[in-house]
Structure 1
Amino acid sequence: MIENKSVLAIIPARGGSKGVPRKNIRDLAGKPLIAWTIEEAQKSIYIDRLILSTDDEEIAEIARNWGCEVPFLRPLELAQDHTPGIDPVLHAMETLPEYDYTMLLQPTSPLRLSEDIDACLEHCIKQSAKACVSVTVTDKSPFWMYYLAESSELQPIIKTDRPVLRRQDAPDVYVLNGAIYVAKSDWIKQNRTYLNAETIGFVMPKERSIDIDAMIDFTIVETILKETRLQEEK
């Protein structure tokens, strides 16, 4: 609990991932991908109940082996390519309705730490926010992004009377890193999203913000984890 408010954390892991088949249980530095999120969530000092939402019995069994509760199997209609990401959250909330805050922890953010999870909750509470999501500074500023017009002319995404010519003059721009979403449960039910004008951002460092979407991401994260272990052993 945090300030006498209960917290439900949901790890979504459907079986039919397309980019990397069976991605959620693919080995990453000696553990299935979902295990990295399960272990960090279990260290949280605020999460009251941690569950996995999946349609896949193999994924469910692996999660149980890592100590994560799987109270139900998600209906197949909520595990399709076109299923909105909020739908499994709403389904879990209907099944387990008694929590004040509901958090979504995607398994594709294996570098996220329990400290990030707890700090995001604290930030949400401290700011009296309805919802809070994790973000990180992007290296690729939209001030230097363009689209191609019909005749291949470069048209800036952001049009301004004063072009930003130097990187150091550009304001910091943030992107969702997909690691942490948290909001008041009643607010989620009403808005059916974690993101609207009332949502605030919680900044995470770039080195913990990699979202695994393709095989190259597994390679990058595995390299980071191996390097971290080497440093810890010195």
Structure 2
Amino acid sequence: MIDNKKVLAIIPARGGSKGIPRKNIKTIAGKPLIAWTIEEAKKSRYIDRLILSSEDSEIIEIARAYGCEVPFVRPKELSEDTTPGIDPVLHAINQLPNFDYVVLLQPTSPLRLLEDIDGCIENMVSIGAPACVSVTKTEKSPFWMYTLQGNKLLKPLIKQDEVISRRQDLPDIYALNGAVYVADINWLLIRGSFLEDETAAFVMPRNRSSDIDTEEDFFFCEYSLGRR
């Protein structure tokens, strides 16, 4: 609870994964991937209830073994490759009323720490924003990116009157890292997205911002977790 507002945290983890089969429960640095998110979320000062949303019985069993509540089984139609990421969140909110804020914690961000989870919640409340999402400063600037035209000629992704030639002159650019999403539930039910003009940003360091999508991501995170 924060400022007398009740906080629901949701870990979405479906069984299907094309890039890395059974990714959410694949062992990484000695634990199932999902365990890293569960254990860190349980340390939060603000989360009142931590739940898993999944249709997969094995994922459910493992999540419960690590102390995560599973109050329902996610419908199969909300667990497809084409299911929008917000749909399981809205489903969980409707299943579990009487909360004020919702926190989305994807299990594919095992490097996130307690300070990132609680920091994102605190940031939203202190700013007075209806939502806050975690971001990280990008290594590659879109001001130095191009698309290829049909004749293979370069076309700048961002049109500039004068091309920036020095890295130190480039503006800071931030990208979503997928680690933490927080929102006022009433606002989210109306907007249907964490990302709107009113959404605030919580900046995380690059070394905690990996989102596992490929085998290379997995190996990097395993190495990073092993060094902790």
TM-score, structure 2 length as denominator?
0.99
Cα RMSD after superposing both structures:
0.6
Q: Report the AA paired with residue 193 of structure 1.
A: S
Equivalent residues in 2 for 1:49-198, closer than 5 Å: 49-198=49-198
Which residue of structure 2 lines up, in the alignment, with residue 26 of structure 1?
Answer: 26
Partner of 1:217: 217
Amino acid at match of 1:81: D
Q: 1:218 offset after TM fit, Å?
A: 1.4
Matched AA of 2:187: W
What's the offset of the Cα at 1:18? 1.0
Any idea what the Cα deviations from partners look like across 1:78-101, whole Å, max 9, x if unmatched? 000000000000000000011000
Aligned residue type for 1:77:
E
Aligned with 1:62: secondary structure? helix
Partner SS state of residue 108, structure 1? coil
Alignment partner of 2:21: what SS?
A: coil
Structure 1 CA distance for aligned equivalents of residues 150 and 17 of structure 2:
35
Q: Alpha-carbon deviation of 1:127?
A: 0.4
> Cα distance, 1:196 vs. partner?
1.1
Identical-pair percentage: 64
Gaps of 5+ in 2: none
Q: 1:218 and 1:202 mapped to 2: Cα distance?
A: 24
- Counterpart-to-counterpart distance in 2, 1:29 and 1:227: 10
Matched, 1:38 2:11: no
Cα distance in structure 2, aligned partners of 1:100 and 1:194: 15
Give the gaps of 5 or more residues in structure 1.
Answer: 229-234
Structure 1 outlier segments of 4+, above 2 Å: none
Q: Using the alignment, how far apart are the partners of 1:120 and 1:148 within structure 2?
A: 38
Partners of 1:55 and 1:72 lie apart in 2 by 9
Amino acid at match of 1:58: E
Question: Distance in 2 between the 1:227 and 1:10 partners?
Answer: 28
Shift in Å, 1:227: 2.2
Alpha-carbon distance between aligned partners in 1 of 2:98 and 2:59, rounded to the nearest angstrom: 26
Counterpart amino acid of 1:19? G
